[in-house]
Amino acid sequence: QKEVEQDPGPLSVPEGAIVSLNCTYSNSAFQYFMWYRQYSRKGPELLMYTYSSGNKEDGRFTAQVDKSSKYISLFIRDSQPSDSATYLCACRGTSYGKLTFGQGTILTVHP
Amino acid sequence: GAVVSQHPSWVICKSGTSVKIECRSLDFQATTMFWYRQFPKQSLMLMATSNEGSKATYEQGVEKDKFLINHASLTLSTLTVTSAHPEDSSFYICSARSGVGYNEQFFGPGTRLTVL
């Protein structure tokens, strides 16, 4: 079993839709949770960074962490074609620990 | 801020040759740098972690004699793929962390290696 599981999709939605991306993890020691966006042939860029459980909002993006169920989510409101990319969740146990990535979900937002 | 560059962005080489990839933190000092490998439609797999002035720590299954990592300064780390073979063809991505204050990792744009 992988430490971080993520549905690879692909996921295709119309412009303006609300997108829900999810990951589950198995390591109870994980305390830091990140979402990265990766465009084709580019390195990942950090979208959201959350410590422990709770919600965090940044513009059209909302990250949720439920440590009791080991479930993390990213919601994208009013999705745009420019949001089309691969979204990777990542977890780590300590502030200086190594990142463990999910497989990534390929998202396409069509006009 | 927090820009990480990689060079080259892509490289094609013949089997048996060695290839060096550079990773630079442009606007901060990176006490720790990470090297990842990513195969098509797969996630990032950590290869090794390097701290400036120290030997790199390799993940299980990664051959340290094949993937040589040097972190000679606070802004530069290099990955050398020695005696490359077609199975080494992949997307190599580095990331850097300052270790001061906000200690998130910032990723470079990646290097596409194709071994013929």
Render pLDDT for A76-107 as a digit per residue (tens, 0 to 9): 999 999 999 999 999 998 777 789 999 999 99
How big is the CA angle at B53 (ends B101 and B91), to the nearest 5 degrees?
80
State residue A82's pLDDT score. 96
Report whether B8 contacts B20 (CB < 8 A). no
Measure in Å the smallest separation between the Cα of B21 and chain A Cα atoms.
15
Predicted confidence at residue B102, as pLDDT, reads: 54
> From the CB of residue A106, how many other CB atoms can be counted at a distance below 10 Å?
17
Distance (Å, rounded) from C-alpha A44 to C-alpha A98? Answer: 15
Using a CB-CB cut-off of 8 Å, the residues of chain B touching A41 are: 91, 110, 112
Q: Tell me the sheet residues that pair with A57.
A: A62
Which tokens is A32 given? 């830091």
User: What pLDDT does B8 receive?
Assistant: 97
Which of the pair, B28 or B9, is modelled with greater confidence? B9
Number of other residues whose CB lies within 10 A of the CB of residue A26: 12
What confidence category does residue A8 fall into, taking pLDDT thresholds of 50, 70 and 90? Answer: confident
Mean pLDDT value across residues A32-39: 94
Q: Tell whether A46 is within 8 A of chain B (Cβ).
A: yes
Question: Which member of A6, A41, A106 has the closest CB to residue B112?
Answer: A41
Q: How confident is the model at residue A53 (pLDDT cuts 50, 70, 90)?
A: confident
CB-facing half-sphere around the CA of A34: CA atoms within 13 A: 23
Q: Which of A43, A45, A104 sits opposite B43 (nearest CB)?
A: A104
Q: What span, in angstroms and rounded, lies between the C-alpha atoms of B59 and B49?
A: 8
Angle at B71 between CA A103 and CA B45, to 5 degrees: 10
